[in-house]
Amino acid sequence: MKLIAGNSNLTLSKAIAKRLGANLTDAEIRRFSDSEVFVEIQENVRGEDVFVVQSTSSPANDHLMELLIIIDALSRASASRITAVMPYFGYARQDRKAGPRTPISAKLVANLITTAGADRVLTLDLHAGQIQGFFDIPTDNLFAVKDIKEHILSAFHQDKESLCVVSPDVGGVVRARALANRLGGVPLAIVDKRRPRAGVSEVMNIIGEVEGLNCVLFDDIIDSGGTLCNAAEALMEQGAKSVCAYVTHGVLSGDAVERIEQTAALRRLIVTDSIEATAAFKASPKTEQLSVAALLGEAIRRIAHEESVSSLFD
């Protein structure tokens, strides 16, 4: 088995390699002066089962192009099986025609990855599970919920009875309910969110009882931070005791970290390391990263040994 890292998240790639007791395969990824990506795999991969770790996080297009070109290089070097390990699958929010004459970019990205030569995809908390159907190759979608549950239980061990899981929008209810169930059936509340235009969100209502409870917002993506900051303020206005947020993918674009720091209602933000943390994130006293290296490493090991991946979540 070989493990190759793109440039998007070297910290996570190294942590996965460590869990697997493997070394990252030597590969040179550099840019021509006009910014074209060039890749040279510097070890023999003929007949190998190769896993390429690359999140298509910001700069999304550069990281996507890197992934495609690494896959192409591996395919032309006769790797026997290529798995695109995408801890964060960018473009996932463009999973349907949002209006007339708009693209379904998540499907296009799936086509590109398949055409480049990937034999399978391993990803984490896809924005919508149906995106697996955009691929005509096997796709394993992992869930961070188990690791998040453990973190919540250690953070709230003395106050578990007062927990409430909150979905920040209607689309996240299934995910939030899964977390509430894993926490032993704690109450679930839902934020009725409206998005008048891209990048702007408004809270219309809170569905469920949150008064006096420690609310745990759970989302797949935090981008501008608007959804979670607005939800935290609305929950505090409804009498919540405290609000913290757990999110799988910390996209955190623009001044999102600053916005979180300035939102007093949101006590804490915990994101996984599916996306490399920025300096602002690391410096913030309100934020924390939770590693999914063990989860991804174990899934890679199971795929390499043809073992069940779904049983990871039993």
- Pick between residue 135 and residue 218 the one whose CB is nearest to ligand R5P: 218
Binding positions for ligand R5P, 177-206, rule CB under 6 A: 201
What does residue 84 show for φ and ψ, rounded to 5 degrees?
-85, 110
Applying CB under 6 A, does 125 fall inside the site for ligand R5P? Answer: no
Number of residues in contact with ligand R5P under rule CB under 6 A: 15
Q: Quick check: is 107 catalytic? A: no
Which is catalytic among the residues 146, 193, 282, 286? 193
Angle between helix 293-304 and helix 145-155 axes, rounded to 10 deg: 150
Closest CA to 127 of 6, 13, 223: 223
Applying CB under 6 A, does 221 fall inside the site for ligand R5P? Answer: yes
Exactly one of 227, 242, 248, 272 binds ligand R5P (CB under 6 A); which one? 227
- Pick between residue 123 and residue 224 the one whose CB is nearest to ligand R5P: 224
Applying CB under 6 A, does 90 fall inside the site for ligand R5P? Answer: no
* Token code pair at residue 66: 């890197």
Angle at 185 between CA 194 and CA 151, to 5 degrees: 80
Q: Up-side HSE of residue 28: CA atoms within 13 Å toward CB?
A: 6
Location of structure tokens 């405290």: 242
Distances (CA, A) of 141 to 131, 134, 149: 10, 13, 18
Least distance in angstroms from the C-beta of 258 to ligand R5P:
13
Exactly one of 6, 168, 250, 297 binds ligand R5P (CB under 6 A); which one? 168
Least distance in angstroms from the C-beta of 242 to ligand R5P:
20
Applying CB under 6 A, does 169 fall inside the site for ligand R5P? Answer: yes
Sequence-ordered strand ranges (E) for the chain: 2-5, 27-31, 37-41, 49-53, 81-86, 120-124, 139-142, 163-167, 188-197, 200-207, 214-222, 242-250, 268-272, 287-290
CB atoms within 10 A of CB 73: 22
Q: Among 27-35, 72-80, 213-221, 281-289, which window interacts with ligand R5P (CB under 6 A)?
A: 213-221
Exactly one of 66, 95, 220, 261 binds ligand R5P (CB under 6 A); which one? 220
Q: Among 35-43, 148-156, 214-222, 273-281, which window interacts with ligand R5P (CB under 6 A)?
A: 214-222
**3-state SS assignment for residue 147:** helix
Q: Among 63-71, 103-111, 163-171, 205-213, which window interacts with ligand R5P (CB under 6 A)?
A: 163-171
CB atoms within 10 A of CB 233: 16
Exactly one of 219, 261, 273, 276 binds ligand R5P (CB under 6 A); which one? 219
Is residue 4 exposed (0-12), middle (13-18) or buried (19+ Cβ within 10 Å)?
Answer: buried
- Pick between residue 220 and residue 261 the one whose CB is nearest to ligand R5P: 220
Position 90, amino acid: G
- Pick between residue 155 and residue 229 the one whose CB is nearest to ligand R5P: 229
CB atoms within 10 A of CB 296: 27
Exactly one of 110, 122, 222, 244 binds ligand R5P (CB under 6 A); which one? 222
Least distance in angstroms from the C-beta of 167 to ligand R5P:
9
Q: Which residues bind ligand R5P (CB under 6 A)?
A: 93, 168-169, 171-172, 201, 219-227
Task: Enumerate the active-site residues.
Answer: 193
